[in-house]
A and B are shown apart, each in its own frame.
Chain A
Amino acid sequence: MTNLVEIRGLTVEATTDSGRWIQILKGIDLDIAAGETVAFIGESGSGKTTAAMTLLGYARPGCRISGGTVKVDGHDMVTLSEKERSALRGTTVAYVPQSAAAAFNPAATIMDQVIEVTRIHGLMPPDEARRRAVALFRALSLPDPDGIGDRYPHQVSGGQLQRLAAAMALIGDPKVVIFDEPTTALDVTTQVEVLRAFKAVTAQRRVACVYVSHDLAVVAQIADRIMVLRNGEVQETGSVHDILTRPTHPYTKELLHAFHPDAGGRTAAPVSDDSAPLLEINTLSAGYGPPQSNGQPLVLAVKGVSLQVKRGTNLGIIGESGCGKSTLARSIAGILPACKGDIQFNGKELWHSARQRSHDQLRDLQIVFQHADTALNPAKSIEDILGRPLTFYHGLRGRARDARVDALLDMVRLPRALRHRRPAELSGGQKQRVNFARALAAEPKLILCDEITSALDTVVAAAIIDLLKELQRELGLSYVFISHDLSVIEAICDEIIVMYRGQTVETIVPAARQQPQHPYSKLLFSSVPKLDPTWLDTLDLDPERMRVA
């Protein structure tokens, strides 16, 4: 029996700035049977997306397929002409992009874009295409399947748009669909719905799927087999069960280990409970827009939040996007002055605006941003980036400053030779370490970490978390850790605050094995994918909890 997809000895090359060609995929073999789902998993730069794109016969600009065959339904996508490939795209192979929001044209209605494939290939009359689309919307459990097609992309939510992108891919009745990290940008609660819809539709239509992801737990729910990629080479291929329970390759083991960050690694808070809290916030409110007649801003993002951080302990703030957790961090840091409430830091009242705070107060409270790409000045060397706070806060210059920069690089486990590089010459994980080292340079008492691991791969993120714990033991820091990723927060925090629509709904102490009580926290905690492949099918989101969301 022949397989639907047969990849043999596939190599892809990319050109460097100096015109040299280097191999980024080094000989990949893979078979996919009809109706089977295979997941490509690996860190960023492992070549998983490049491998998936070859099924479309596509290589990104600057890349070329240099060898091997990619047979899809009997056609070799490598040797076909561009015209023949176009004929197969959308009808035999289809693609669902990572960011549906960027993939839809904001100026056309959703229906027009979903049925565009049938128009291009002349598959069916528009009326029939519309009927099929509505049937797909229904199968993907979209709300209002008859009317949603008349809306524009900005009128539906991110999770709905992702499902609509899947409908767009499925309308031409393809035999293979490529999902490129389709749920990475979604909240966990939304991700559950989207995954369910994908799984149901692809199973019903017996479509073979290639699912590209770096999230092993998501893949465990949806795939039959997993292919682990690293540096353009296949590390391991096997059934989901085998990979999860009997990984043979060291990298797969590392990946699995990164999924269970050991919470036990943290030593108990060294300072006794009776000491005054380092940071205390009372009924803090903050928002955006011009002040209204009642003195509040137009949109209130944080509504009367109170919290406490004791010396040497960590506080986690968790919630879905738009719940106000980042706004809270920004108003604590003084970037967005709060409109109400008060902030006590280190026994003193803090001004709401950073401008009015003293030099020492600014130094003691540092914030680390999510995107190291934009938080590091691309025009400056690592040395200058780390050196500036040393000069600014501690007056270090010359050799003393150089020595301290070296010490900081050692602290965040980066080679000293990196000091002369620019941020663009570092990897994502390295950049985030520099970003963090800059906050350490100030020698602060408290560091606000705003989603610092969410842009990183699981393995890299786990390494950063370990680093944070270690530095805390050595330097006696406190962290306020903001994230939407529960496993990260559980690994490092002594106390977790669940935020929902600008308010705190619950405080949880993981050490006390405390279970969430509030319906929203329950929903949030139960939506985090587990490695168990049966998790999605057995997950029971009871209607009462769904209503809160």
Chain B
Amino acid sequence: MDKTHATYEPRIVAFLCRWCSYAGADLAGVSRLTYPANIVPIRVNCSGRVDADMVLSALEKGADGVLIGGCHPGDCHYVTGNYKTRRRIVLIKQALSEVGIDPRRVHLEWISASEGIKFQSTMTSYTELIRELGPSPVRATKAPVHG
């Protein structure tokens, strides 16, 4: 592990759907289930709102990992949004591997409003995974985009 690795704290952004995963995160909070503080959540109405632009923009802005939380298949509040996400994430991961970025830096997880424990375990294991993967190669080469 090189020097940057030793002092490295993963930066992760999590896009959470309002109805399931965001509520699952609320439940984890109410239940006082602790997990690493590396993940900053951003609420979207549906995981189906998460597109390549958002994921790539996060990686470009220095995310070491991007997590997407949606409702379980069949449970989408908007009927089928999560199915669209599932297909889209496969393509995004494929595109990432083609440009040499580990596809595990983008991760989709189904977390329901009643799965506080799953939210905690996902946050914990995903932070650990991103810690092992080290800083994103995009971060190292990143030129400042905004002032």
The judgment on whether A and B are partners is: no
**Which residues of B come within 8 Å of A, CB atoms?**
none
